[in-house]
Amino acid sequence: MGCQYFAPCSHGAESFTVMMPKLTFGRGCLSEIGARVAVDGHKRVAVFTDPYLRDSRYLSDVLASLKQSKIDLSVFSEVHIEPNEKSILNAEEFLKNGKFDAMVSVGGGSVIDTAKAATVYATYPADFTDYFGPPVGLGKPVPGPVLPHYACPTTSGTGSECTSVTVLRIDSLNTKFVIGSPHLLPKVALVDPSCTDTLPANTIASTGFDLICHALECYTAKAYTQWDKVENPNQRTLLQGANPWSDMSAQKAMEIAGQYLSRGVNDSSDNEARDQLMWGATLAGMAFGNSGTHLPHAMSYGITHLMRDIVTEGYPVESPFIPHGISVILSAPSIFQYLSEGAPDRHLEAASFLGADCKDAMPAESGEIVSKRLIEMMQQTHIPNGLSGVGFGAADVKALAASSIRQSRAIANAPRESNVTDMENIYLNSISYW
Ligand SMILES: [Fe+2]
């Protein structure tokens, strides 16, 4: 079945590229950071983190290790959750003034993505939207190398330590958008699952659904052979569609999430489950960094742009705020029900990886099955009941769809085409599930 999915087609790509940082995984591996930086000959590093990790054990472990290896450093702890133009400008100024030869990020996706973006603008100054793709930006390629990046994720969802993209909020256009470039791939990733020991249950749940959607979207993405062949290999986009590499890591990530998400959310002492979820997030990052996400991520942006009055407990940030993983999962059951027609076998396999009972199921039922399994997992982990659970109603679907339709590249990576009316219907079917 896998081979059939990647069957060649006329004008379609015949090759895919895999890019990965040098990855270390294991409890306590943050203490390796000093040796990792020193062996590469760096003398002075910028350390990015956020205000909530400023006094954490994770940051102090990283700083102690760097100092032990005689690395000079300066800390920037003003990372904004959901980085925007203003917060990136602050980080860029910090880099410009610091005479750094490398950078370390310690935190969730916002921290890692801030480091990636700050070094791009500090190295190659440009207007904020220049490096974003159309329709919101000029689509200028990042011109060349940036500071070597040592990424240390502290949540089990982002996967950004394994990807060549940064997701930023463009307040003036009321949207989030992506900058992608091979130059943004971290050089080293240190993934220490002990960072998740003290995370609250709703953070494990939110980041868990981020990892699930990364994996599920990669596995059901349009095959790389369906994208046009590129003449110049350097122009091969990293969001290149499903491929054998992304299949391999996405499958394992879904199996892990299906088995361990509920345990990791509902029992904070279950180290085995939380360690597994951290590994699952890493695998899902390895998948989506080399294939790309599609509709659930594209349609999450409409939700985070138009949210109002919503407060999420456990996140010390200004409201309105909906965690990224929640914004991604809320429409996902309806999205996969819609998309399954474009790749029914893949959806059935994915449902099985997530733990659904697919015995005797037919591919035509795959949308229903994967949707039901996601809803079951949402209920087990106390996720809001669809869009109504975060304050949206039927009157909002037109605005949500109008916002999300701008994510053209991600929408094109889905296994079935969708227009703005399709999106409105999907949002309508996401109002509540139970
Ligand atoms: Fe995500």
Is residue 434 one of the residues assigned to a domain?
no
Ligand 1 centroid to residue 297 C-alpha, Å: 6
Ligand 1 centroid to residue 406 C-alpha, Å: 17
Ligand 1 centroid to residue 284 C-alpha, Å: 10
pLDDT band at 232; cut points 50, 70, 90: confident
Is residue 433 one of the residues assigned to a domain?
no
Ligand 1 centroid to residue 204 C-alpha, Å: 14
Q: What is the mean pLDDT of residues 381-398?
A: 95
Same domain, 44 and 156: yes
pLDDT band at 318; cut points 50, 70, 90: confident
Q: What is the mean pLDDT of residues 111-138?
A: 94
Question: What CATH number did the domain enclosing 171 receive?
Answer: 3.40.50.1970
Ligand 1 centroid to residue 37 C-alpha, Å: 28
pLDDT band at 252; cut points 50, 70, 90: very high
Same domain, 184 and 258: no
Ligand 1 centroid to residue 68 C-alpha, Å: 34
- Cα separation, 406 vs 397, in Å, equals 15
Ligand 1 centroid to residue 41 C-alpha, Å: 33
Ligand 1 centroid to residue 210 C-alpha, Å: 5
Cα–Cα separations (whole angstroms), residue 371 to 332, 365, 366, 391: 8, 10, 8, 22
Ligand 1 centroid to residue 344 C-alpha, Å: 23
Ligand 1 centroid to residue 399 C-alpha, Å: 22
**Cα 344 vs. chain centroid, distance in angstroms?**
24
Ligand 1 centroid to residue 81 C-alpha, Å: 14
Same domain, 101 and 236: no
Ligand 1 centroid to residue 174 C-alpha, Å: 18
CB half-sphere exposure, 313, CA atoms < 13 A: 6
Of 194, 39, 56, 156, residue with least CA distance to 47: 56
pLDDT band at 109; cut points 50, 70, 90: very high
Q: How many domains does the chain have?
A: 2
Neighbours of 76 (CB within 10 A): 22
Sign of torsion over alpha carbons 403, 405, 409, 410: positive
| Residue 81 host element (H or E) | none
Q: What is the mean pLDDT of residues 370-398?
A: 96
Ligand 1 centroid to residue 97 C-alpha, Å: 31
- Cα separation, 211 vs 94, in Å, equals 31
Ligand 1 centroid to residue 44 C-alpha, Å: 31
Ligand 1 centroid to residue 70 C-alpha, Å: 35
Ligand 1 centroid to residue 166 C-alpha, Å: 11
Lowest mean pLDDT among 261-270, 319-328, 368-377: 319-328
Same domain, 9 and 150: no
Is residue 205 one of the residues assigned to a domain?
yes
* pLDDT value of position 1: 44
Asked if the model's pLDDT at residue 314 lies above 70, the reply is no
User: Which among 167, 191, 215 is the end of a domain?
Assistant: 191
- Cα separation, 181 vs 55, in Å, equals 32
Same domain, 166 and 286: no
Ligand 1 centroid to residue 325 C-alpha, Å: 6
**Cα 351 vs. chain centroid, distance in angstroms?**
20
Same domain, 78 and 159: yes
Cα–Cα separations (whole angstroms), residue 251 to 212, 245, 379, 381: 10, 10, 22, 21
Q: Which residues lie closer than 8 Å to 383 by C-beta, 6 or more apart?
A: 205, 209, 326, 329, 330, 389
- Cα separation, 293 vs 296, in Å, equals 8
Ligand 1 centroid to residue 11 C-alpha, Å: 30
- Cα separation, 374 vs 288, in Å, equals 19
Q: Do residues 178 and 227 lie in contact, with contact meaning Cβ atoms separated by under 8 Å?
A: no
Ligand 1 centroid to residue 293 C-alpha, Å: 8
- Cα separation, 358 vs 150, in Å, equals 41
Q: What are phi and psi of 25, to 5 degrees?
A: -125, 130
Q: Which two tokens stand for residue 59?
A: 């940051």
Asked if the model's pLDDT at residue 304 lies above 50, the reply is yes
| Domain that residue 101 falls in | 28-191
pLDDT band at 3; cut points 50, 70, 90: low
Ligand 1 centroid to residue 326 C-alpha, Å: 10
Q: Do residues 213 and 296 lie in contact, with contact meaning Cβ atoms separated by under 8 Å?
A: yes
Same domain, 246 and 223: yes
Strand 22-25 to 188-191 pairing: parallel
Ligand 1 centroid to residue 67 C-alpha, Å: 33
Q: Which two tokens stand for residue 186?
A: 């971290």
Ligand 1 centroid to residue 115 C-alpha, Å: 17
Same domain, 159 and 221: no
Ligand 1 centroid to residue 38 C-alpha, Å: 31
Same domain, 215 and 175: no
- Cα separation, 140 vs 137, in Å, equals 8
Tell me: the pLDDT tens digits for 27-36? Answer: 999 999 999 9
Same domain, 9 and 37: no
User: Which among 158, 191, 224 is the end of a domain?
Assistant: 191
Q: Do residues 155 and 278 lie in contact, with contact meaning Cβ atoms separated by under 8 Å?
A: no
Is residue 22 one of the residues assigned to a domain?
no
Ligand 1 centroid to residue 110 C-alpha, Å: 11
Ligand 1 centroid to residue 279 C-alpha, Å: 15
Ligand 1 centroid to residue 214 C-alpha, Å: 6
